[in-house]
Amino acid sequence: MDIFLLIGIILGLVSVIVGMIVKGANVLVLLNPAAAIIIFVGIIAAVVNSYPSSDIKKIPKLFVILFKNKTYDAPATITQIIEMANVARREGLLSLEKIVQDLDNPFLKKGLEMVVDGLPPEQVQEIMENEIIGMEDRHKIGSDIFKTAGTSSPTLGVLGAVIGLIGALGNLNDVEALGHMISAAFVATLYGIFFGYVLFIPFSNRLKLKSEMEVFQMGLIMEGVLAIQSGSSPKAIEKKLYSLLDPKQRQTDSKQKE
């Protein structure tokens, strides 16, 4: 599980509750069923109205991806590519056939299978690029779903406040109840802003970041596969791939080798 995401959610909740306590507001006012219905049902309606059922069904999976702490070991991937480059250099591309079958990474496996099958470099590159573009498009839809929820939420909060004020203004004779109803009316606004700017929009940004990390890893693999196919020396491939990494990753890998 992604602990930092969980910490961020908890910090957001704590900041609201502590802020209300410091200001002397009653925390129990947050238990407002009417506000919850307006915000949550409204968000669901906004998302359902924006995307087809095929995308809506993926939302549970998006939450799994969001909370899953998936890491990509780029130096380890480069080491694996270099090892196969050494084999291809000594024994030819066809010698990779048995090695390819044991690979865990499906993208790397598919790329090398095309190389072993003798597909032209242009075609290998085109197919691998199409795979990356297709994955980016799928990830973008997931990110956009949370963005839609996040941008709709604050507006729904204003709508909830307006509905609450309409109810309050209809009871002007009861001054004591009026104050309670006005304070309760703004709970929907608080809900809307919190879920929009503290949860859903950050969730969207986090999914984008996870997608960029995966795209980078796939791009690294594609460069390695094409370099092996072109017959580049393992040393040249190593320098080329490491030039794509962040300097900190290069330093970490060099320390591990030592």
The structural domains of the chain, with segments of one domain joined by +, span 3-73+124-257
Look-up of token digits 């997931």: 142
How do residues 1-32 score in pLDDT, each as one tens digit?
778 888 999 999 999 899 888 888 778 888 88
In this prediction the pTM is 0.82
Asked if residues 204 and 146 have their Cβ atoms less than 8 Å apart, the reply is yes
Q: Rounded CA gap, 4 and 25, in Å?
A: 29
Environment class of 124 (CB within 10 Å of its CB; exposed 0-12, middle 13-18, buried 19+)? buried
How do residues 170-210 score in pLDDT, each as one tens digit?
666 666 666 667 777 788 899 999 999 999 999 999 999 99
Look-up of token digits 């549970």: 60
Query: Average of pLDDT values for 237-254?
Result: 76
Neighbours of 176 (CB within 10 A): 7
Say if residue 245's pLDDT is above 50: yes
How do residues 93-131 score in pLDDT, each as one tens digit?
888 888 888 888 899 999 999 998 889 999 999 999 999
Share of the chain above pLDDT 70, in %: 92
Say if residue 254's pLDDT is above 60: no
Say if residue 247's pLDDT is above 80: no
Neighbours of 28 (CB within 10 A): 8
Q: Rounded CA gap, 22 and 19, in Å?
A: 5
Specify the pLDDT at position 258: 47
Query: What is the gyration radius of the CA atoms in the chain, in angstroms?
Result: 26
